[in-house]
Chains A and B, each alone.
Chain A
């Protein structure tokens, strides 16, 4: 009875959420933005440094992004977060061979210190990212292996010369991590931006009290006239999820941009009713199971296929989405995005069929053929409760149903990847999260170990590597889709190198006063706050 009532309640809430997303979209189109107010939001992490070129955590993006612009950005109104749009570049052209990208920059854009932004700043910033000088860490250097040179032929033109044509290049330039810094400052001290702020963005830096908060105020000289709408913003560093929920529930904060759990959403909705608007979307983050192919019997693809065939992902989605931040059944791309495999086609892959009994019979048969009947192993999991814990419990139960006995070993988060890198595990949980849904970014992880050190399956697969190269260099979208599908089939079905669990699901219950913000599949996007406005003044 309780379960039925909860299901019913969850259904109502989901429907309400959908209606609210649509309603928000309509409101965005109809309502005229209001000026003023301070947006307050908790951030569950904190910036290790202020330099996005070197950092990985959203703890940098959420509080610091409003001070900066990129060359391009992802269209802040696009719910898929995949459409590159102008930011400091107002237009661009691509040569017929796809090897030269020429960008025209906006004129009259000023850094917060009053200096004009020109092409030499863009070049210096991208040189730092792609060709970092000695002693400078660039976490994204590897993503720009395609770039041969960056040139600044005149103050308002930037040219990127590529080694080979790639359709993903504009998306790479729209990365939320590639903030444009001042060339003169970088020339004097390439580490300056690790501890200082000086961008061209819509908000000026006011203060950062470590462990407590970050404050920004409206940039009156912002190049996009009329924006931003807010007087300022205040990011509160709150680690505890209960305290984050309390902050929103107590109306001390408007929104948390990363995501809450289904239970948090329901609590907030029940407590605040119309004062809360819920936005939901598939999340470009995924937990994956990686069998260590250096260890027997996981080098045998029959065993790996059996493990994926055992998973009833559709039933798992129903059960887990009520308690954890996972939901969609997906392949290698987030559902609903341009290169995602349609559900009917996905169902043809091992472990994605609708007849779970047949799949499990086949799994048992494969284990028998491989001489691995009564298989038992240790599943290494990361010591992060949500969603690692519930997903692991689900996996272990699924494998039990084909006669596999699994013991879970939880490793503390900071030491987790050391365990994986050393290959000290049988089967482990792995993770991938991106700033945009783009095959070049999403598939690289699965290429051979010799090419990619974050392949923890320790396999070599030249066929997969070749498919990766082909999809990356395909200039025709349909042709690229075919390569992506072939890659997916080989990765998840024929070889079962990795086993996908469920796509994460992003839930943002926020104050209904917050307008002009669009949820996307990435919590790294839409944090510049230039389009955000409040229906009234500050909360407190």
Chain B
């Protein structure tokens, strides 16, 4: 097992290096740079060529591309991601400011999705082709069909029309004021969690149906075991492998992918920061965010691999 962990950890290095190289080059290929975005795309009259050149020199953009990459990689190795080219603030500060919010929304949405998906998926599988199954399928298909940002807009409009109220616009950390924090974040978590649960519900249902047709379930039932025990101990645990995969990947996606939902609820999260960083050609910040999301995917995959071994004892890592 330890050998597996070390191998996986070492594999992270070339993966992240590849990601870093690709994003670094892609950002340099797209037209425009941070200096033009700052001084030429605003509402001012436009800056002179001298101003643009001076700013490029200050940010190190006048250096050859390979040198810029080397400087950046040397910083990454020392966990120094540099400063944001747009704000001048340390990258670590820019990300840390938004990370707590994004992580909390992702966690809350995952909890909501799991609490909805597991019972509904199992129930639908057990009551296949009954009205309960149909109701669950309609509920989950609606969730798949409805973008979470659209559900968020409906929520906001509903609050405004019926209660003349909107959720708070400024993030309050949970440890400062739990009530204010939940009043702000529960709505985006619900909007995102519903769509997320729809994917997981359908996966749980189909996986359960497959497992329930297995010989060992038939054997357990023939032996007269209590249905609840069969479900929990023998069926559900085995049906969880693909469900855990879906939940894990969705969680990693939520950390940096809630762009439009964050706009709808005015959340100061990583998704919005990501889009702004790209639009502003903030190279250093975009590179750091891509590395962060890539790392999140790698870590989540790694944790899922470990969970597979717990769920299915036949799986052994070497």
Contact = CB atoms under 8 A, between A and B. Distances in A.
Interface of A: 42, 48-49, 56-58, 135, 137-139, 141-142, 194-195, 209-213, 236-240, 242-243, 246-247, 249-253, 271, 285, 412-419, 421, 431-434, 441, 444-445, 453-454, 540
Contact of A236 (B47, B159, B169): B169
B164 A252 contact: no
B160 A249 contact: yes
Given A137-B54, A210-B97, A454-B46, A56 B39 contact: yes
B18 to A, nearest CB: 26
B268 interface: yes
B279 interface: yes
Interface size class of B (residues with CB under 8 A): 35 or more
Contacts of A250: 159-160, 164-166
B64 interface: no
Contacts of A249: 160, 164, 166
Contacts of A246: 156, 160, 166
B37 A211 contact: no
* SS of A interface (majority): mixed
Given A415-B30, A433-B44, 17 more contacts: A56-B42, A56-B44, A57-B44, A139-B51, A141-B48, A194-B88, A212-B170, A236-B170, A238-B169, A240-B263, A243-B265, A414-B37, A415-B31, A417-B32, A421-B40, A431-B43, A453-B49
Contacts of A236: 169-170, 266
Given A48-B86, A242-B264, A243-B266, A56 B49 contact: no
A-B CB proximity, top 3 nearest = A56-B44, A250-B166, A415-B31
A249 B49 CA distance: 44
Nearest to A58: B43
Contacts of A444: 45
Contacts of A212: 97, 170-171, 268
18 contacts: A56-B43, A141-B51, A210-B93, A211-B98, A240-B263, A243-B169, A243-B265, A247-B169, A250-B165, A271-B160, A412-B279, A413-B279, A414-B36, A415-B32, A417-B32, A418-B31, A434-B45, A453-B48
A247 B159 CA distance: 12
B41 interface: yes
Contacts of B93: 210
Given A415-B32, A453-B48, A433 B43 contact: yes
A211 B88 contact: no
A48 B38 contact: yes
B195 interface: no
Nearest to B171: A212
Contacts of A418: 31-32, 36, 40
A292 B97 CA distance: 45
A240 B152 CA distance: 13
B202 interface: no
Contacts of A419: 31
B32 A414 contact: yes
A445 B94 CA distance: 37
Residue of A211, A247, A431, A444 with most chain B CB atoms under a 10 A cut-off? A211
Given A56-B42, A252-B169, A243 B98 contact: no
* SS of B interface (majority): loop
A106 to B, nearest CB: 30
A432 B45 contact: yes
Interface string B152-173: 0100100110001110111100
Contacts of B276: 239
Contact of A252 (B43, B45, B168): B168
Contacts of A211: 97-98, 268, 272-273
B41 A416 contact: yes
Given A211-B272, A252-B168, A139 B39 contact: yes
Nearest to A138: B51
A56 B94 CA distance: 22
B305 interface: no
Contact of B153 (A239, A242, A251, A271): A242
B58 interface: yes
B55 to A, nearest CB: 6
B130 interface: no
Nearest to A445: B45
Contacts of A432: 45
A190 B93 CA distance: 23
A243 B266 CA distance: 7
Contacts of B39: 56, 139
Nearest to B46: A454
A19 B185 CA distance: 41
B198 to A, nearest CB: 25
A322 to B, nearest CB: 22
Contact of B87 (A142, A210, A453): A210
Contacts of B168: 252, 540
